[in-house]
Amino acid sequence: MKEAHFASLVKTGFLAGAAIVLACALMLFPKEALDASTRGLEMWWHVVFPSLLPFFIVSELLIGFGVVSFIGVLLEPLMRPLFSVPGIGGFVWAMGLASGNPAGAKLAVRMRQQKKVTRIEGERLAAFTNSSNPLFIFGAIAVGFFHDAALGMVLAIAHYGGNVLVGLSMRFYGVSETDERSRSKKGLQLTDAFLLLHEERLKDGRTLGKLLGDAVRSSIQTLLLIGGFIILFSVLNQMLSLLGVLSLVAFAVQQLFSLVGLPPELAKPFLAGLFEITIGAEQISSTDGVSIWFQLIVVSFILGFGGFSVQAQVASILTESDLRFRPFFFARFLHGVFAALLAALLFQPLYKPNAHETGSFGANAPALFGERIWEWLAAYGGMITLCALLYFIFANARVLLRETD
């Protein structure tokens, strides 16, 4: 008991000390902190918010209309034997893949809140349904940072292949705690699936207007939370760099990289990527004198790992349920390792340096499409974000006025 109390005191002292050091760093380096905040805000304003908002809204509508339950019955024979989760896991996985971090965790929490999954199943879902979206991989990483659209295919296959391997690995997690309900299987019955869809819609009871309004407000609230974490970790990464903390840790990472055959020059960008994916990927791509093969391996790892920024977002979302964060963290490390290994193996057979010259058709079409969408978001994403936030303020103001009447 005394040891536990002492450990708790040490943790309290460490957290308090870290907060004081961060506050002092902000006062010592106000300009650098402002620049880091601006970089994080720009990424959230122009890309993260407008790209995630439609997926969040659509997922809320699909849940309200009962489509998720319909999909769950149809996908039960696939998801249960492969990943040991109910068929609705297919919906969570698809939406997480299309919209990116942290959509998978958000939807896994919703499924748990609605009692559609057990706690173990929810933790499995959160573990393997979080990934970077194709737009970010093709548009931001391949085109924006490496200026080579052909790299997008290698990164995407390594990333999503690693995602599948994580799902297959996590099916063995918590087997002893899995209850009988979670082991039950349903057959592929289309009529039953449609009847369940109808029952779920009636049970929800909200009109289309009410459901749409709730979906928009809930989605924007989640995106505001995500934006706060992106800005916070952008500033934190910059402060740690200015205080020399990253340089000290980078020395140890350099020794580790030397042991596994990776260039030590990538150690510091790698650490930056552990905090925030975008910053790390940009620094890795601009590291001179390093083979692109090594750069791709390290970028694949941080894409799979997700960065502490994404993990903090997920940890905050998971607190809305009884889902635990530890399995998610373990799965992120596993995803990083799988993705890095796949990138190393697939680089030679898949990478075609001159693929961007072949036109808009063929194997490189997804990369070129991602590039166009990325350019469109850079031009109009800020306007979408502004309009959505104005609607959010107006809608909340109306709700408050009704409550006061």
Is 110 domain-assigned? yes
Least confident range from 17-31, 194-208, 261-275, 321-335: namely 194-208
Neighbours of 356 (CB within 10 A): 19
Owning domain of residue 376: 370-404
For the chain, how many structural domains are there in total?
Answer: 2
Q: Note whether 395 and 357 are same-domain residues.
A: no
What is the CA 365 to chain-centroid distance, rounded?
24
Residue 298 sits in the same domain as residue 390 = no
Residue 199, both tokens:
């029952």
pLDDT tens, residue by residue, 123-146: 999 998 888 888 788 877 887 788
Residues 351 and 395 in one domain: no
* 255 lies in the same domain as 390: no
Cβ-based neighbours of 113, under 8 Å, separated by 6 or more: 320, 321
Residues 281 and 343 in one domain: yes
In a shared domain, residues 376 and 231: no
Q: Is residue 183 part of a domain?
A: no
397 plus 333 within the same structural domain? no
| Selection from 75, 72, 76, 85 nearest residue 171 by Cα | 85
Verify that 343 and 388 share a domain, yes or no: no
Residue 223 to residues 220, 349, 377, Cα–Cα distance (Å): 5, 38, 16
On whether both 309 and 381 belong to a single domain, the answer is no
Give the distance, in angstroms, between the CA of residue 268 and the centroid of all CA atoms in the same chain: 22
Retrieve residue 220's tokens.
Answer: 């924007």
pLDDT range class, residue 350, cuts 50, 70, 90 = confident
Q: What is the pLDDT of residue 366?
A: 57
Q: Which residues contact 35 (CB under 8 A, 6 or more apart)?
A: 238
Q: Residue 340 corresponds to which tokens in the numbers above?
A: 């890095």
Enter the pTM of the model: 0.82
Please answer whether residues 342 and 161 qualify as being in contact, where contact means their C-beta atoms are separated by less than 8 angstroms: yes
Number of DSSP helices (H) and strands (E) in the chain, helices first: 19, 0
pLDDT at 364 over 80: no
Weakest-pLDDT range from 86-95, 122-131, 142-151, 373-382: 373-382
Q: What CA–CA distance (Å, rounded) separates 132 from 134?
A: 7
The per-residue pLDDT for 275 is: 84
Angle at CA of residue 178, ends 174 and 182, nearest 5°? 130
The answer on pLDDT for 52 being more than 60 is yes
Residue 12 placed within a domain? no
Residues 275 and 229 in one domain: yes
Angstrom distances, CA of residue 182 to CA of 87, 110, 178, 179, 328: 11, 17, 6, 6, 20
- In this structure, the answer to whether residues 332 and 213 fall within a common structural domain is yes
Segment 160-167 mean pLDDT: 93
376 contact partners, CB below 8 Å, separation of at least 6 = none
